[in-house]
């Protein structure tokens, strides 16, 4: 299917799928009715209700993209309902504190508190890729989450014993990852699948062609992944914006003008991605309720790019973004800790990126960026960052006069 065909996808078909999603959400609400008295079920109902309201808003506007349907959080919420309605459940989405600053949400508690369960509806291949080090953002892998569950279980014994921890994979789990979980003491439920290529990848073996901060990439980031990220990191209330994140936010391409074929092949490629997987809704959902910050280097370089390449609408959006941001000096928060201060500037580790990501670390913020190459290269040097990686989007308004517009 070529680009024009994708853009001309039947609106009736999309609206029909939207109706099915709404109906599915309403059915989930009904299924929870008989167990409404269980601790946490009303919270789960509210989450489902919010998703239904969002989908009905799209239905009323009659402007729906497939991305908005495919990444609906109803898939995971449906899996939660499946588990919450089983006999023996006493609590859903129960919060426990590991220490003064960290807390953990336990999806399902059953057997009078003797069993804790985590519900996972994600794609098995993506789970294996994340556990192999190919993270799409700075989220913790399933193995990391297993450590969290086991550590927390020791702090809250039931009948003098830590609760049994079950990870249930609604879409299945690859054998290699399942064996690793079992080895640390996790009970694995779900279909065991053959290993994919991701399972063979070592933590330090990254593709030498990983995207740099100025390159395009095909990393798929969805609204569902935003929800997972925020659920896994409820303690993070501050977002540090990289230059690439700000460009993606203000670009004409991400603000309704992706129907172009440009002379530059990379821009046309990004338009195709944007038509399939819009980035602006991902960033907007990520930004909700968060404090947005950046350092002087990030804002200064971003502003120079906009003033040089940006069109009038992109410049207006830049002014609006500035009002949403708090801009700090590069060295705000003190000196870099070890080993970040010793991070060697080479290859994909550029000085500008080191300044921006280290600033985010000192501010205890999640750095929002398209610069996956830097995150991977830093990891090879043993340095990790809390980062949310989204797809690259360039400024395009200035290139539109020489591009071919595609009718929708």
The average pLDDT across 239-247 equals 96
pLDDT of residue 207: 27
pLDDT: which is higher, 15 or 223: 15
Checking DSSP bridges between strand 192-193 and strand 173-174, what pairing results, if any? parallel
pLDDT of residue 209: 25
User: Quick count: other Cβ atoms within 10 Å of Cβ 23?
Assistant: 12
pTM of the model: 0.52
| 155-194 confidence digits (pLDDT tens) | 999 888 999 999 999 989 999 899 889 988 999 999 999 8
> Is the Cβ–Cβ distance between 250 and 230 less than 8 Å?
no
Q: Is 200 a residue whose pLDDT tops 70?
A: no
| Domain covering 86-205, topology | Trna Endonuclease; Chain: A, domain 1 (3.40.1350)
Percentage of the residues of the chain whose pLDDT score is greater than 70: 83
> Is the Cβ–Cβ distance between 18 and 64 less than 8 Å?
yes
**H or E element in which residue 242 lies:** none
Q: Is 345 a residue whose pLDDT tops 80?
A: yes
Q: Is 11 a residue whose pLDDT tops 50?
A: yes
The average pLDDT across 29-40 equals 93
In whole angstroms, what is the distance from residue 126 CA to residue 211 CA?
19
Q: Which band of pLDDT confidence, cut at 50, 70 and 90, is reported for residue 210?
A: very low
Q: Is 348 a residue whose pLDDT tops 90?
A: no
User: Quick count: other Cβ atoms within 10 Å of Cβ 255?
Assistant: 18
- Among the listed residues 208, 202, 244, the one whose alpha carbon sits nearest the alpha carbon of residue 347: 208
Encode 67-80: b = buried (16+ Cβ within 10 Å), e = exposed: bbbebbbbbbbbbb
Say which range, 32-36, 155-159, 202-206, 357-361, has the weakest mean pLDDT. 202-206
In whole angstroms, what is the distance from residue 397 CA to residue 7 CA?
20
CA 194 to chain centre: 26
| Domain covering 223-405, topology | Rossmann fold (3.40.50)
3-state secondary structure of 10: coil
pLDDT of residue 302: 95
pLDDT: which is higher, 166 or 228: 166
pLDDT of residue 233: 66
In whole angstroms, what is the distance from residue 89 CA to residue 110 CA?
4
């Amino acid at each position: 299917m070529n680009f024009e065909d994708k853009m001309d996808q039947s609106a009736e078909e999309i609206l029909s799928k939207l109706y099915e999603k709404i109906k599915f959400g309403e059915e989930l609400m009904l299924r929870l009715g008989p167990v409404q008295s269980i601790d946490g079920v009303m919270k789960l109902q509210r989450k489902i209700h919010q998703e239904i309201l969002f989908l009905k808003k799209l239905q009323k506007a009659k402007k729906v993209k497939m991305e908005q349907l495919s990444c609906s959080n109803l898939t995971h919420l449906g899996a939660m309902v499946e588990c919450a309605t089983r006999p023996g459940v006493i609590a859903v989405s129960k919060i426990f504190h590991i220490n003064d600053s960290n807390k953990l949400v336990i999806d399902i508690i059953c057997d009078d508190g003797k069993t804790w369960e985590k519900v996972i509806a994600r794609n098995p291949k993506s789970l294996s890729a994340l556990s192999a080090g190919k993270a799409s953002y700075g989220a913790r892998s399933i193995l990391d989450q297993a450590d969290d569950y086991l550590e927390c279980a020791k702090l809250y014994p039931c009948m003098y014993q830590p609760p049994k921890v079950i990870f249930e994979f609604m879409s299945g789990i690859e054998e290699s990852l399942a064996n690793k979980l079992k080895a640390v003491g996790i009970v694995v439920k779900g279909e065991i699948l053959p290993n994919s290529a991701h399972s063979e990848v070592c933590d330090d073996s990254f593709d030498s062609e990983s995207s740099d901060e100025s390159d395009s990439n095909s990393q798929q980031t969805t609204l569902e992944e935003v929800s997972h990220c925020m659920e896994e990191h409820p303690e993070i209330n501050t977002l540090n914006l990289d230059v690439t994140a700000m460009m993606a936010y203000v670009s004409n391409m991400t603000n309704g003008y992706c129907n172009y074929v440009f002379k530059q092949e990379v821009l046309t490629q990004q338009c195709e991605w944007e038509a399939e997987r819009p980035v602006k809704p991902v960033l907007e959902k990520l930004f909700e309720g968060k404090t947005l910050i950046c350092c002087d280097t990030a804002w200064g370089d971003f502003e120079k790019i906009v003033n040089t390449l940006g069109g009038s609408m992109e410049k207006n959006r830049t002014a609006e973004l500035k009002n949403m941001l708090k801009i700090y000096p590069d060295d705000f928060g003190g000196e870099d800790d070890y080993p970040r201060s010793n991070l060697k500037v080479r290859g994909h580790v550029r000085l500008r990126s080191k300044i921006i990501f280290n600033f985010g670390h000192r501010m205890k913020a999640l750095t929002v960026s398209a610069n996956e190459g830097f995150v991977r290269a830093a990891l090879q040097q043993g340095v990790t960052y809390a980062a949310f990686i989204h797809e690259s989007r360039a400024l395009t308004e200035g290139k539109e006069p020489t591009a071919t517009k595609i009718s929708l």
